[in-house]
Amino acid sequence: MGRKRKAINPEDALKSNLPPCRVCEAPGAGFHYGANTCEACKGFFHRSLRLHSGYRCEAGNNCVIEHGRGKLCQLCRYKKCISVGMAKEAIKTGRYTSSKRTNDILEVKSLENKRKLGLLDNGLVNDNGSLPPTSVLPGHALTSGDGLSPELTTSLSSVRGFTSTSGLSHTARVISQALLNELSETSSNDVISHSYTPLNGLNQTLSSCALGSAPLRKEGRHLSIDLDSQSSLASAAGQSTSSDSDQFCRDVIASSSNSLFGQNSGITGTSRLIQNPLTVFASTKNTNSVNGNPLKGDFSAGSVVPCVTSSNGREIGAQNNNFLPSNGLPLAGTNLPADITQVDSQPDFLPVDFDQLVLDGPPLVSSLPHQTTAPSPITTLLDISTSSEFHRITPSHPSVVTSARLADNFFNGEKNHVAKDNRLFINSTSAAEVSPSFPFQKSPLDLGVNQNQFVNRTPGPLLSETAAGLVTSTSDKSNSQQVNGITNQLSSQISLLNNSFSRTSSSASPGQKLMALEEVLSPSSIVSSESMGASSPDMLMSHGVAGLVSSGAEQTSQGKKQGSLGPGSVKASSPTPASEAELLHAFCDTCGCGLDHSNIGLLYRRRDEVIARLAEAHESFMDQCFGRVAPEDVAAQQKEHYEQCRLKQEVFGKLTSLNDAEYDEIFIETGLDADDRQKRMEGLIDSMEKFIRGLVQFAKVIPGFNMLDLSEKIGLIKYSRQEICVASATAYFDYDLRVFKGVDGKWKCEMDMLYQVSIAPSMLEELFEFFHSLQNLGLNKEEMVLLKTIIIMAPDRDSEPQISALGREVHWQLVQTLVYLLEKRMKKPMAQFARIIDWLMTARTKEKLVREFFKSFKFEKYSRLGQAPLLREMLSGIYFDLSDDES
């Protein structure tokens, strides 16, 4: 025993308003060496600084460090000190920041509440991790009945005991996967399967019940889309909503998540605490006590008294109601007097009138009167008008530039040559010279890369000389055969789907975009009623699946005229390279862009080079945002972060975020950034902006992207941002640990998210499953890059403006490139492709989920979005426009 050991007197602790010791839970004595510690642990660490080499653990390096436990194991105690962040370097003297003080006080208050509720009574867990002989909590539902308690209890007693829980979720995943496998096998023989035509977009694409997570329902041999049956949890595997195995699978998953979090824990039963950012997790040591506790729900109302005190500890009462937040943050839902809200007119913090933020218009038009002619941030990014580069300024001679030349120069770096030859590009520095209506905002050759790169590059052979070989190289015989088989199969399936489309679409509400009749029947749609069915398989062949693999080498059937068809009339390449003369006159006559869409394909003929270029761009523009981590280090870092958070949670208990009302109240009264959310938001805003910049740079490298109309480019970036974000985050996601990386490059785990963002655990769960579903595709790096480009160019979003025929063609080329990649690696490329398409469809159904996720950050409320005009422009109309809730 130490000496003069004080009995734990919680009253004293409360009086001091100091959080308990992070090491031993004794009443806190302040912030020492970087952590809230007691006097004893402070002294111990102080001595340890001088000499700790002699520390030895008699047990298994996992001794419980707890006040009142007799002689503490030195080594374990020291390790605990380190783990809670104590360090010589962390010494900090001086006044508390108001934020920290507030956090401390709130934590103490919360602890007090919990103690009153009996949750902090010690003895719930003893040394062995088994239950103590005497149950302390009346009505505590910690019985062998819930089956999960032993595991949780074990893990709580410092044993690295999460194996059991992760084991369970592993089981769930195995079952899910098996189910998926089985079902996918069925689907390949079944009538119902995927149809995917990039020309008409995903929104008319049906995925099978078997593979699909789209809300489909079998009705005899027909399909109908049940838009109302949004399954709350489409598991990673994705199942039909009606199958028993699905239910089973879901149950397993649900139970596994329960075992991980405890029944109800984190959902309804967790108390909230606020702490400084370093110690995010707080409060109950015993998650058990929360788990299934009859007191659940009680915490949400009034357990945290947002009582904030001044720095000397006195409470600040309601008399401070008139306190005007120093930084003028507008707080919705608070009852600030109207005049005060009016006074608060700092433009940076005011709610932005996003109606004014048109897509390609300048931001903050009203507040920046002198910039009304300046391009918006995204415009600046997308447009090269700000840099001195070659512009095409007149549409009058589009025919002069042949796509073949463009393609050649794309790879061979003869940009200047073309420019001079055709006199179509001028060196312009003024945006005003560029007609916004003209599709070519910049040279198609400008790929957003320093043009010196092109100049210095050794010119290769002209494309026309090697085109034939390249074209045919993508499809060998076996592939063609296989593809033809699949094609025929898909053909009939699509036909079937189409029939059901026709049938069901009449009853579908007009607003349901997925089923919009006009979409289905639109001339450009492959699965239109006219073009579909066995009667016109060639149509399908020429535009749809066949083209995926054959690269047009064999499929030369020229798309039949389908009214005024844009991309549908893609002219497949002839077996021999098209002569320039041929290409010259093969212009699209529908979209008015003056470009021969079929020649977009030329930009993609050297698929390997396109892939390499995209991969390179992805690495330099996209990866950097997330903070590059060597693949071999990823797992270690994930684990480290997880361990850190788990340890904290073990010590301090689970923690959910301070809700807005509470935060706002504190803020109104004291002006304090209670849980540092404003600070966090600022960082996130920066990262998001960086990410968008990277995304734009990346997109610009997509061959053909730069040819698009400016507003279209903006729309594509704007509406793909979200999915790209998810796809990128997935690269660093670990399903077992539930750790991923945010755009800010910081590792985040479930525990972080639940604390930092007011997101429902179920939503987070769904998001993780979504991440996982992408991982399950097992794409390699290049394939993932291609997938991202496809996401960017996805023609089926409700983006504004609608994607052009040109854009669809780019998309189509990207899809073909992806298939080309898959062919190189897979025995069954089309099966994999189908899975990818299925995921893309899932992504579409998850759009709202992801949007809610991003919304939960509440950028517009808690950050200075005004200082991030680019981001604001990107987010406007998606997150903040209230009328945009439904789509």
Shortest Cβ distance from residue 749 to Zn ion (Å)? 26
Does 6 interact with DNA (rule: CB under 7 A)? Answer: yes
* Per-residue binding letters, 99-128, with DNA (x by CB under 7 A): --x---------------------------
- Which entry of Zn ion, DNA, none binds 477, CB below 5 to 8 A by partner kind? none
Within 757-804, residue ranges assigned H as helices are 761-776, 781-793
The answer to the question of residue 724 lying near Zn ion (CB under 5 A) is no
Closest by CA position to 791, among listed 725, 869, 737: 725
Interaction pattern, residues 56-95, with Zn ion; x per rule: CB under 5 A: -x-x---x---------x--x-------------------
Taking the CA atoms of residue 241, residue 247, residue 253 and residue 258 in that order, the dihedral angle to the nearest 10 degrees is: 120
CB of 116 to DNA, least distance (A): 25
Cβ of residue 1: shortest distance to DNA, in angstroms?
A: 4
Which residue type sits at 763?
M
**Cα(61)–Cα(166) distance, integer angstroms:** 23
Is 264 in contact with 289 (CB distance < 8 Å)? Answer: no
Q: Residue 46: which of DNA, Zn ion, none does it interact with, CB under 5 to 8 A by kind?
A: DNA
44 lies in the binding site for DNA (CB under 7 A): yes
Instruction: Compute the least distance from the CB of residue 678 to DNA, in Å.
Output: 22
Measure Cα distances from 197 to 444, 459, 536, 784, 795 in Å: 26, 36, 15, 20, 10
Size of the site for DNA (CB under 7 A): 35
Q: How far is the CB of 51 from Zn ion (least distance, A)?
A: 17
**Residue 93 binding result from DNA, Zn ion, none, given CB thresholds of 5 to 8 Å by partner type:** DNA
Residue among 337, 650, 361, 788 nearest 642 (CA): 650
- Cβ–Cβ under 8 Å, residues 152 and 262: yes
Could you give the CA distance from residue 256 to residue 245 in angstroms, rounded to a whole number?
Answer: 16
User: By CB under 7 A, is residue 74 in contact with DNA?
Assistant: yes
Please state the closest distance from residue 453 (CB atom) to DNA, in A.
53
Total residues in contact with Zn ion, by rule CB under 5 A: 11
Q: Which residues pair with 389 in a beta bridge?
A: 428
Residue closer to Zn ion by CB (options 38, 603) is: 38
Contact status: 96 vs DNA (CB under 7 A): yes
Q: How far is the CB of 12 from Zn ion (least distance, A)?
A: 14
Q: Does 274 interact with Zn ion (rule: CB under 5 A)?
A: no
Tell me if 300 sits within 8 A of 137, measured CB to CB: no
Q: Find the shortest distance in angstroms from Cβ 52 to DNA.
A: 10
Planar angle of CA 374, 379, 382, nearest 5 degrees: 140
CA 689-694-696 angle, to 5 degrees, is 95
Alpha helices per DSSP H over 413-450: 415-422
Q: Of DNA, Zn ion, none, which one sits near residue 44, judging by CB under 5 to 8 A according to partner kind?
A: DNA
By beta-carbon proximity to DNA, the closer residue of 65 and 553 is 65
CB of 83 to DNA, least distance (A): 17
Question: Which partner, DNA, Zn ion, none, binds residue 23 by CB below 5 to 8 Å per kind?
Answer: Zn ion
For residue 21, state whether it binds Zn ion (rule: CB under 5 A): yes
In this structure, the strands spanning 35-36 and 31-32 are: antiparallel
Q: Which of 19, 22, 38, 866 binds DNA (CB under 7 A)?
A: 38
Q: Does 314 bind DNA (CB under 7 A)?
A: no
Chosen residue from 24, 329, 578, 595 binding Zn ion by CB under 5 A: 24
Q: Does 87 bind DNA (CB under 7 A)?
A: no
**Spatial contact of 795 and 201, defined as CB atoms under 8 Å apart:** yes
User: By C-beta, is 4 or 585 nearer to DNA?
Assistant: 4
Helix-then-strand count for the chain, H and E: 34, 8
CB of 70 to Zn ion, least distance (A): 13
Q: Which of 59, 91, 400, 426 binds DNA (CB under 7 A)?
A: 91
Q: Does 2 bind DNA (CB under 7 A)?
A: yes
Using the rule CB under 5 A, which residue among 38, 237, 280, 707 binds Zn ion?
38
Distance of closest approach, residue 40 Cβ to DNA, in angstroms:
3
Q: State both tokens at 725.
A: 């974000």
Between 13 and 364, name the residue whose CB sits nearer to Zn ion: 13
With CB under 5 A as the contact rule, the residue among 18, 23, 731, 743 that binds Zn ion is: 23
For residues 225 and 234, is the Cβ–Cβ distance under 8 A? no
Shortest spacing between CB 309 and DNA, in angstroms = 10
- The sign of the dihedral angle between the CA atoms of 269, 275, 280, 286 is negative
Residues 6+ apart with CB under 8 A from 607: 470, 474, 816, 817, 820, 821
Distance separating alpha carbons of residues 426 and 391, to the nearest angstrom? 5
| Residue 348 CA, distance from chain mean position | 27
Secondary structure of residue 139 in the 3-state scheme: coil
Residues 354-373 that bind DNA (CB under 7 A): none
Q: How far is 439 from 609, CA to CA, in rounded Å?
A: 25
| Single residue of 19, 25, 32, 288 touching DNA by CB under 7 A | 32
Q: Any idea what DSSP says for residue 620?
A: I
Name the segment binding DNA (CB under 7 A); options: 39-47, 123-131, 398-406, 662-670.
39-47
Q: Does 26 bind Zn ion (CB under 5 A)?
A: yes
- Asked if 389 and 408 count as a contact pair (C-beta separation under 8 A), the reply is no
Asked if residue 818 lies in contact with residue 829, where contact means CB atoms within 8 angstroms, the answer is: no
Nearest in space to 273 (alpha carbons), one of 120, 490, 464: 120
Residue 81 binds to DNA (criterion: CB under 7 A):
no
Task: Give the residue among 150, 147, 125 at the shortest CA–CA distance from 137.
Answer: 125
Name the residue nearer to Zn ion (CB basis): 26 or 273: 26
CB 822 within 8 A of CB 783: yes
- Provide the binding-site residues for DNA, judged by CB under 7 A: 1-6, 30-33, 38-44, 46-47, 49, 54, 71-72, 74, 77, 88, 91-96, 101, 311-312
- Provide the binding-site residues for Zn ion, judged by CB under 5 A: 21, 23-24, 26, 38, 41, 57, 59, 63, 73, 76
